Structure 1
């Protein structure tokens, strides 16, 4: 008998490191250390890993030929998730002290967020979740975001000394991608991989496991029908999903590629997600 049940990823799913192509490794490492206070875990001639000193959230790989991203599929932003609102406030102060420009800031009701880009234009969200008991039933998608109340955020750490480095507890919260078609994206991320849809806004969709507001968003804001990223482009190499067992997911994926501890699957635009146990 063939099962017709819709696949569902485990509620215990978490996200691991995001791997990015950058054009100048030393420049990027210095920026992430200074602007975001990340700690360098490893650093060799072409690759570096960074995080909170315990957990790696970011891998940077240098490609001196890499060009800025254009109108194609790939990374919109990745979200660094801070363990507390106070840690997000310290991150905001870090940006102010280092005079790092931001591109926006929002209150999504499930989480608060600050948006910026690294030296290559890779999009970054700095986020802190509200307690799940405070999340609205619509997960904040019905009304759209409000402006972030910076005064209230910064008040949580009023009087503290400046903190140049992140404290333990930083994790990868979610990814947001550019794709060429929302329905094709759902056919892959929902119907093959097993993410559950939390919102479909027509030009963007948000999916997750375990009722989270989103582990992944994807949009067509660069245009319906955009194609894969060209070779030698800065941006996403792969993002990582951590599950208890990769075999069940791998069985659903056509063309899975071997990867240490698991496998890589590619969406219709070639964007790679690594599943590891």
Structure 2
């Protein structure tokens, strides 16, 4: 497994509703979220009042490599995060990562606070080439007040399946572009060329019908000109990161 100096999602180990705290940045460049779309699973629209969230899926095409390599780390992922009332914070995510001059996929569970990691586990990295079409999936296997089972994977890549059990529910969903060690002057060359788009985003209920998310779009405090937008496409909703 490739050694990464950063774990994906650490910048999100806070209440996503506290948008001012959801990003980290520095005078030296980008070290955290470039952009984020998120919503609460409790706010999903559905005709049946008793419907509950069952599965998230989204498509993503592996981008071309950044034009300039400065040993940066880049994460692209959908994720589920725990309720603000839960401590410690937890995020489950199938991650496409740029590190050590290559793209790779893996599934991660990260728990703790920024700068104070309590626990993390992940599957082995699987190398993927630019242009590869990926389908990221997170599913609820079992849900109750004190026992909740989840499965996270990239469809068709058996080595990326991560099954976990938690004593609390994950209640926030997000789509994110996160990066570390990106300089200010050359950030356009050190990030992937846009647009980067999560397409065919589907949130299914326990009866397999579609639920409608109410996305909130958030820009990073240092985003190198990237904007986050919600697109309504013929094949389904999409979240796009573009300059």
TM over 0.5: no
Say which structure, 1 or 2, has more relative contact order (CA 8 Å, 6+ apart).
2
More helix by share: 1
Higher strand share: 2
In the superposition, the TM-score normalised over structure 1's length comes to: 0.26
Greater C-alpha radius of gyration: 1
